[in-house]
């Protein structure tokens, strides 16, 4: 009976990096694979593929999500933003500058996910201690630079934003 229900190819209509997206996707394909293979947006990385490492972090309707724990089919009627879109729009520019200034990216594998998580943190407008920043980014693993410089960079952006209190940029 079941083979009569549902589809192996699913039609989706969504927004990707601000542009409308209309496609057919494989039901079993997760969002990170769809972005990388079908859309050639390879800034979204894949590490563990079971939700532990955070390399595949994307934004869905403005909140971070695991690209490997979301099916491409699930994004229909939702808005997805990736490291490419957020970079082009300039929303990440402050974070990126501070990451570069403090050498908070070494191999770069975690950086896209780390930046998106940091963006959600900074955009929340909350003032956070270093311990709270560490907790917030605990779902994103870095295996080379270490977290110290990353926490420094996030802390610096929070401090700058507090001074200028200009919205929109992180």
Partner 1 sequence: MKARNFRYIRPTSLDQACCILAEGGGDAVPLAGGQSLLAGLNMRLSAPKLLVDIGDLKELTGQSYEDGAVRLGALTRHAELLGSQVIQKHVPLLVRAAAHIGHVAIRNRGTLGGSLAYADPAAELPACAVALGATLALSSVVGEREVKAEDFFKGLFETELKPGELIVAVKFPAIQPGMAVGFAELSRRQGDFALVGLAALATMRRDRIGTARLAYFGCVDHAKVARAVSAAVTGLATPLPDTSAFEQAIRQDLTPEDATGLRADTKLHMATVLTRRVLNSLSEKVTP
Could you list the residues that contact partner 1 (CB under 8 A)?
1-3, 5-8, 10, 27-28, 30, 33, 49-51, 54, 57, 60, 63-66, 68-71, 73-74, 76-77, 117, 120-121, 134-136, 138-140
Residue 81 CB, nearest distance to partner 1 (Å)? Answer: 13
Query: By C-beta, is 22 or 63 nearer to partner 1?
Result: 63
CB-side exposure of 59: number of CA atoms within 13 Å? 27
124 Rama sector, left if φ>0, alpha if ψ -120 to 50, beta otherwise: alpha
Distance CA(44)–CA(86), nearest Å, equals: 12
Residue 77 CB, nearest distance to partner 1 (Å)? Answer: 8
Give burial (CB, 10 Å; 0-12/13-18/19+) of 31: buried
Query: By C-beta, is 17 or 140 nearer to partner 1?
Result: 140
141 Rama sector, left if φ>0, alpha if ψ -120 to 50, beta otherwise: beta
Residue 163 CB, nearest distance to partner 1 (Å)? Answer: 25
Query: By C-beta, is 37 or 103 nearer to partner 1?
Result: 37
Looking at residue 37, the DSSP 8-state letter turns out to be: I
Query: By C-beta, is 99 or 136 nearer to partner 1?
Result: 136
Residue 15 CB, nearest distance to partner 1 (Å)? Answer: 16
Residue 140 CB, nearest distance to partner 1 (Å)? Answer: 8
Distance CA(132)–CA(122), nearest Å, equals: 12
Query: By C-beta, is 78 or 160 nearer to partner 1?
Result: 78
Distance CA(64)–CA(54), nearest Å, equals: 10
């Amino acid at each position: 009976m079941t083979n009569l229900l549902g589809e192996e190819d699913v039609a989706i209509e969504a927004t990707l990096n601000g542009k409308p997206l209309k496609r057919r996707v494989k039901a079993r394909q997760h969002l990170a694979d769809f972005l990388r293979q079908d859309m050639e947006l390879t800034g979204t990385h894949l590490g563990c593929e079971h939700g532990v490492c955070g390399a595949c972090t994307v934004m869905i309707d403005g909140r971070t999500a695991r690209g490997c724990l979301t099916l491409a089919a699930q994004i229909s009627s939702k808005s997805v933003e990736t490291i490419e879109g957020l970079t082009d729009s300039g929303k990440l520019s402050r974070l990126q500058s501070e990451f570069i200034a403090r050498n908070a990216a070494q191999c770069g594998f975690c950086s896209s996910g780390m930046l998106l998580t940091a963006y959600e943190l900074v955009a929340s407008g909350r003032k956070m201690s270093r311990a709270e920043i560490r907790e917030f980014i605990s779902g994103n693993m870095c295996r080379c630079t270490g977290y110290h410089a990353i926490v420094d960079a996030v802390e610096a952006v929070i401090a700058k934003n507090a001074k200028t209190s200009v919205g929109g940029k992180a």
